[in-house]
Each structure stands twice: as structure tokens, then as C-alpha cells.
Amino acid sequence: MALPARWKDKIVPSDPSDEIMELQMGPSHPAAHGTIKFNLKLDGERIVDCDVEVGFLHRGFEKMCEQGTWTQCFPYTDRLNYASPCINNVGFALAVERLLGIDTTERCKYVRMIMSEVSRIADHLTCLGMAAHEVGGSTAGMYMVEAREFLYDLIEAVTGARVTVTWCRVGGVTHDLPADFADRIKASFARLDQVLSDCDKMLSRNRVFIDRMAGVGKLSQPEAISYGLSGPLLRAAGVPYDVRKAHPYLVYDRMEFEIPTGDRGDNYDRFNVRFQEMYQSKRIIEQALAAIPEGPVTITDPRVVLPDKQKVYSSIEGLMNHFKLIMEGIHVPAGEVYQAVEAANGELGFYVVSDGSGRPYRVRVRPPCFLGMGALNKMLIGRMIPDIIATFGMINMIGGECDR
């Protein structure tokens, strides 16, 4: 092969026994789902140094949020963690509602919570399915992706979209649960149970899977806390921190559920924690469906919520109200709020600042997987190349959220 002239003096024959090889893995690597680059220094197959490069999917989320009204941010939030967009919607809506000092309806809280938990199961299935697929368990991967479809069908039945739902609004949600939602959940969960039990059998005691996961990507408890890990990554290290319990929002304080934790902080614990969390989410959904009250799913405060179409078409007040809310946006009092929700990957925080106008002055997202990626090189140095795949899979980096 003819080499470019400028490479000639760079390529030197070397002694393979003492050479540190430099390897760039990514930004588009078939085994790493997502655009991410690992700048590796390798001694044989052992990782001596690993510089994790992110930002390939940066779209200026925070900047774009400052350009429109508060309501216009919702479509952007869908595209943060696109495996569980409902949770992002809910987080942003709660932040703005707290800034406004309003509270939404009781039914709306339940609906938001149910959809958050459906999304969490879908997200965990994506993460575990992909991770299983990448370490050789393709069958389990396909099963889980199929199970995710049942849940996406549920999300579609409620929001009308599968991924980019844009379903929350300040003060409520756009669509209530359909009348037959409880039956749909029942049918989906029956099939989901079958998949989970199959995958449990296929993976949890599978020799190959355990060898690839157990003891790999370890991070001790103090390190995990110091690096700001949250969600399943932190719980796998034995810290029972869950935003739903520590700083309850919506109606999580009325639900009974447990926080699964691990004790070794390795990939197998992370897998287990996520797996157990799916059962806990199911528990929450079942309790919520039993307790959900009747009523509207959105408040009717004309300063915040659009008027009925009937009023817009037939009265000047309704038309003006609609026009002002669309053109100027919701007037949020000046101030700032940090609102965290427990997303599938950990603590998803929205720090929103308003200067009193109809547009956000600053929207900051605290992305859970960004912090996980920040600790990735600590988990990998000293390990082998194939461990990158398993560890990266368990961090569950979602490019939209990590790079924003």
C-alpha cells in the first residue's frame, strides 16, 4: 500500500515488546452505540491511558432554549435522553411550575408518574438489551428490544408519538390516559414478564455474560460519590440514593417501592440493579393505576395554559389569551430553581433561571450520563479493550443527553 509522503518519517519499525500503541476507537465504532471516541494508549491489549472524547452530538440545547418561549423548550427536552423522553418532559415541566409557584392537578401527577415509569422500563430494556447484544447475547438483546416495543405502543397510545413525545406542558399534559389504558398495561406487562423471565434465565447465570461483566468497570463507593455518579451506577456501588426517595416529587412519596442496590460496583451489579428496577417500576405503575383519581389532567390558569379552542374561535378574550401566550410566552417570575428528577440513568436536573420575561434566561441540564462518562477512564485504565464495550454499555451513554 502506498503511504502518503507526510507519513514516511512517522512510521518507524519498532520493537513490539515495549511499544505503547496509540489507538483511536470511534467516533463511530460498531460496538459502541453512540458517537464517542476513545483515545487509547495500549500495552498489548491492556489499556494504559484512555481519554474519552464526547461532544460529537452537541446541538446547543441550552443555547436554543434561550431563543424561544418556555413551552417551546419541550420538543428540545425530548431529544435529551431519547430512550425515555417522558421523564425529560416531566423534569422540565416541574422546574418551570416551581418557578411559577403553581401546582398541577392530582390526576396529572399520577399520569406523569405512570408515564415516567413506563419510560424507565423502556430505557432499561434499551440499555440492557444493547449491552447484552454487544457482549454476545444477541438473543436477549432482540427479546428486550421487542419488549420495548410493547412499551412504546403504550407511549404511542397516550402521547401519539413513540419517541419525540412533547407531551408535557407547563401546568399539565396534552393527553390523558386512554380509557382502556389499564387493560393495555395489563396485556403489555404479561408479555413483558415473559421476556424478563426469559432474559433473566439467559443472562443472569450465563457464564460468558458473567465473565464479561463481573469485576469489570469497578468503581468504589467513595469514588462513585466523588465523581457525581447517580442512578444505577451509584446504587450498584451500594449507595441507596434515589431522587424519588430522597427528594420526592410528583406523588412518589405515596408509592411503595424499594431501591435495589449492589455491593461491588461492577458492571454485573449495574446490570442487576437495572433489572430489579424494572420490577419496581412495574410495582409503582400498578399501585398508581389503582389509586389514580378522576379529574382534569391540566390546570386552567389562563396565564399559563392555552384556552379551549372553542373560546379561541368564538370570543375575543380567548383569542387574545391564546395570542399572548403563543407570541410572548408564559411570564415566569424572575428567579431560579433547581429541579431534579430520577431519570433512568440517574439524577436529571434542570436549573432554570428566569428574568421575568416570557423566555428562559438560562436553562441548564445536569445530565446523568455526562458524569458517568467523566468517570469512565477511571473504570477502564488497567483493563482490556473488550472491557470498554461492557463498561460503556452499562453507563448507557445517550448522546443526546451527554452532549446536548
Partner 1 sequence: MLIEKLKARFGGEILDAQNARDEETFTIDRERAYDFFRALRDEPDFDFNFLTDVTAVDWPERKPRFEVVYQLNSLNLAHRIRVKIGVDGADPWVHSVVGVWGAADWLERECFDMFGIVFKGHPDLRRILMYDSFEGYPLRKDYYYNKRQPIVPEIDPVVNPIRSSR
* Binding footprint of partner 1 on the chain (CB under 8 A): 6-7, 10-11, 22-24, 39-41, 49-55, 58, 60, 62-64, 66-67, 98-99, 101, 223, 225-228, 239, 241, 246-247, 335-338, 340, 347, 349, 351, 353, 361-362, 364, 366, 370-371, 373-375, 377-378, 381, 403-404
The minimum distance between CB 365 and partner 1, in angstroms, equals 9
CB of residue 142 vs partner 1: minimum separation in angstroms?
34
Nearer CB in complex with partner 1: 100/144: 100
Shortest distance in whole angstroms from residue 49 CB to partner 1: 5
342/403 with CB nearer partner 1? 403
Nearer to partner 1, 261 or 321 (CB): 261
- Cα(171)–Cα(299) distance, rounded to whole angstroms? 6
- In this complex, which beta carbon is closest to partner 1, that of residue 82 or of residue 361? 361
- Least CB distance to partner 1 at residue 366 (A): 4
Q: Judged by CB, which is closer to partner 1: 26, or 318?
A: 26
Nearer to partner 1, 144 or 379 (CB): 379
* CA 26/CA 10 separation, integer angstroms: 22
**Minimum distance between the CB of residue 39 and partner 1, rounded to whole angstroms?**
4
CB of 71 to partner 1, least distance (A): 18
Least distance between partner 1 and beta carbon 331 (Å):
17
Written as nine digits, the cell of 136 is 454476545
8 A C-beta contact, residue 21 and residue 29: no
> Which is closer to partner 1, CB of 161 or CB of 353?
353
- Nearer CB in complex with partner 1: 92/227: 227
Minimum distance, C-beta of residue 369 to partner 1, in the bound complex (Å): 11
